[in-house]
Amino acid sequence: MKILVPVKRVVDYNVKIRVDKETNAVDLNNIKMSINPFDEIAVEEAIRIKEAGQCDEIVVVSLGPEQSKETIRNALAMGADRGIHVKTDHSPEPLLVAKILEKVCEKEDYDLIILGKQSIDDDCNQTGQMLSALLNRSLGTYASKVEIENDTIIVTREIDGGLQTIKLKKPAVLTTDLRLNEPRYASLPNIMKAKQKTIDELDPSDLGIDMTPKVSTKKVEEPPKRVGGGKVESIQELVDKLKNVSGVI
């Protein structure tokens, strides 16, 4: 079995971003970038499946600028086998990402594709679902447990009311939720080894996809600031304020 894991380079989850009023965009200068946390969980899951003897090869693919190679190396250091870098200047919208991934899947066949459920920059939560549609494959989003059986995959999903378990026919597309696993740290020897692993390059223009965006961003603003910081000294004062000032209890 072969697994494809798409990963995205995003602003690190600990960074509080700032909107640049002049460019009308999020200021990405000198900001720490990392692998999208949900994608890291996807890489970890693929590695665990391989360690269980249920997968022969893990391929990691990333779309983005030259630096996306670092993100791929990151995944290779965790234990993925090789990488594909699709070079783009900007970050295309999820539909276009899904179309590129569809082409990647046409070049080589993958039994399982595991993606993060959403990237923490644009918070779209679409790519995995869209890819499953384009490939006409079964879909298991928000996975918190994955069990591979011969031709099927049992997926437990985090849903609004609790947990749902479904059985998917292979080949399938999965997206990860937070509690699927805890990603490992790459060890120093593995980081060294990852430098020897192959990363192939792909040019989106060779894939025959119309990259014209269907949705354009007109502007980006800071949300209205919440004025907080009020303090109370005691529970009595708190209850009194809630009852008589705010009128919420």
Partner 1 sequence: MSVLVLAEHNNQSLKEATKKALTAALKIFSPAHVVVIGNNCASAANDAATLEGVEKVLLVEDTTYENMLCEPTADLLFELMKSYDYLVSAATTNGKNILPRVAAKLDVSQISEIISVIDNKTFQRPIYAGNAIATVESSTEKNVITVRTTAFETAQVGSSIATIEKIDAGNNPGLSEFIEEKVSSSERPELTSAGIIVSGGRGMQSGDNFKMLESVADKLGAAVGASRAAVDAGFVPNEYQVGQTGKVVAPELYIAVGISGAIQHLAGMKDSKVIVAINKDDEAPIFEVADYGLVADLFDAVPELDKELEKIQK
State the nearest-atom distance from the C-beta of 238 to partner 1, in Å: 6
User: Quick check: bond before 224 cis, omega within 30?
Assistant: no
State the nearest-atom distance from the C-beta of 201 to partner 1, in Å: 26
Please state at what angle helix 127-135 crosses helix 94-107, rounded to 10 degrees: 50
- Per-residue x/- marks for partner 1, 48-87, CB under 8 A? ----------------------------------------
- Check binding of 118 to partner 1 (CB under 8 A): yes
- Check binding of 181 to partner 1 (CB under 8 A): no
- Are the C-beta atoms of residues 124 and 91 closer than 8 Å to each other? no
- Check binding of 239 to partner 1 (CB under 8 A): yes
Contacts 24+ apart (CB under 8 A), 204-210: 204/63, 204/86, 204/87, 204/88, 204/100, 207/100, 207/103, 208/103, 209/96, 209/99, 209/100, 209/103
- Per-residue x/- marks for partner 1, 135-174, CB under 8 A? -xxxxxxx-x---------x--xxxxxxxxxxxxx-----
Binding residues for partner 1, total number by CB under 8 A? 82
State the nearest-atom distance from the C-beta of 108 to partner 1, in Å: 21
